[in-house]
């Protein structure tokens, strides 16, 4: 039996990442495999899936206020991340699937170092660009490409989520490069060929990059629930096939 651990800021939500996780989890459980979802907020609604909460409301609030004051988002929550890594040791997954690590709940360098030393295959789905930048989720909204070579600074989007009164983007992106660039067990999933091409050009481009298209969901009719479900099912099938090739 295969056991997959997902880590995302939200579980059981209506956002794309949360819904994708639910469809993958359902496919895993129905196939006789096991799935655990670690998140800061919410719970998976899929029967048979384990839920693991990362931190508590106090941890998240402290992380949020430090981000507001220093722009050091993703570099707090030391205790919560330590508890998470201890639980990962106990859970003994065959593969860890990372989704959105922003959300005031993870110390990125601690988690990356632990996963690198674990030698577990780690899948990273890029639902946005936060992990590649020094601050923002969507650098293209400001026509910015400084993040590609890990040289953010004078960020024009410090007022956007995760908002801060200070610009610490240069230091933050350097810390992300240090944490992620040399992981030898990291496999990146882009949601389009265009995104994959961009990642290839970036400081994260030395890792294997796979494309699992989200276009059927992104370009579909959001009022057509059946079409949405079918799009997520196809994505889930593609991820299960990727898991088989990596484990």
Confidence at 222, pLDDT banded by 50, 70, 90: low
Percentage of the chain surpassing pLDDT 70? 96
The Cα 200–Cα 209 span in angstroms is 8
- Best CA proximity match to 134, nearest among 174, 99, 107, 165: 174
pLDDT of residue 116: 96
Q: Where are the domains of the chain?
A: 3-131+184-246
Confidence at 156, pLDDT banded by 50, 70, 90: very high
Give every CB contact of residue 85 below 8 A, 6+ residues apart in sequence: 110, 111, 114
Residue 220 has pLDDT above 60, yes or no: no
pLDDT of residue 45: 85
Query: What pLDDT, in 10s, does the model give residues 94-148?
Result: 999 999 999 999 999 999 999 999 999 999 999 999 999 999 999 999 999 999 9
Percentage of the chain surpassing pLDDT 90? 90
Q: Is the peptide bond before 162 cis (omega within 30 degrees of 0)?
A: yes
Confidence at 160, pLDDT banded by 50, 70, 90: very high
Give every CB contact of residue 103 below 8 A, 6+ residues apart in sequence: 9, 10, 40, 41, 60
- In CATH terms, the fold of domain 3-131+184-246 is Rossmann fold (3.40.50)
pLDDT of residue 238: 96
Tokens representing 166 are 């200070």
Give every CB contact of residue 35 below 8 A, 6+ residues apart in sequence: 3, 4, 5, 6, 24, 25, 28, 29, 46, 48, 49, 50
Mean pLDDT of all residues in 182-203: 96
Lowest-confidence segment of 36-40, 60-64, 207-211, 225-229 by average pLDDT: 225-229
Does residue 40 sit in helix, strand or coil? Answer: strand
Tokens representing 30 are 């129905």
pLDDT of residue 228: 83
Does residue 162 sit in helix, strand or coil? Answer: coil
Query: What pLDDT, in 10s, does the model give residues 23-34?
Result: 999 999 999 999
pLDDT of residue 214: 80
Give every CB contact of residue 13 below 8 A, 6+ residues apart in sequence: 19, 41, 42
Q: How many CB atoms lie within 10 A of CB 200?
A: 14
Lowest-confidence segment of 1-15, 34-48, 103-117, 223-237 by average pLDDT: 223-237
The Cα 210–Cα 196 span in angstroms is 7
Query: What pLDDT, in 10s, does the model give residues 197-211?
Result: 999 999 999 999 999
CB 74 within 8 A of CB 107: yes
């Amino acid at each position: 039996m295969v056991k997959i651990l997902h880590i995302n800021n939200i579980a059981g939500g209506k956002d794309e990442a949360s819904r994708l996780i639910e469809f993958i989890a359902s496919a895993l459980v129905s196939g006789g495999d096991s799935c655990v979802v670690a998140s800061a907020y919410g719970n998976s609604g899929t029967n048979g899936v384990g839920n693991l909460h990362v931190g508590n409301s106090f941890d998240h609030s402290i992380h949020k206020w430090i981000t507001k004051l220093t722009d050091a988002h993703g570099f707090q929550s030391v205790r919560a991340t330590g508890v998470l890594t201890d639980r990962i040791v106990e859970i003994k997954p065959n593969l860890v699937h990372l989704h959105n690590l922003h959300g005031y709940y993870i110390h990125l360098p601690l988690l990356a170092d632990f996963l690198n030393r674990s030698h577990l295959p780690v899948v990273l789905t890029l639902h946005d660009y936060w992990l590649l930048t020094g601050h923002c989720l969507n650098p293209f909204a400001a026509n910015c490409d400084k993040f590609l070579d890990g040289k953010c600074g004078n960020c024009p989007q410090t007022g956007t989520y995760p908002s801060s009164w200070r610009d610490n983007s240069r230091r933050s992106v350097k810390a992300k490069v240090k944490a992620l660039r040399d992981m030898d067990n990291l496999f990146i999933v882009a949601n389009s060929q265009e995104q994959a091409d961009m990642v290839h050009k970036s400081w994260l481009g030395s890792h294997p990059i796979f494309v699992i298209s989200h276009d059927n969901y992104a370009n579909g009719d959001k009022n057509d629930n059946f079409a949405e479900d079918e799009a997520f099912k196809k994505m889930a099938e593609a991820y299960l096939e990727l898991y088989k090739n990596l484990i």
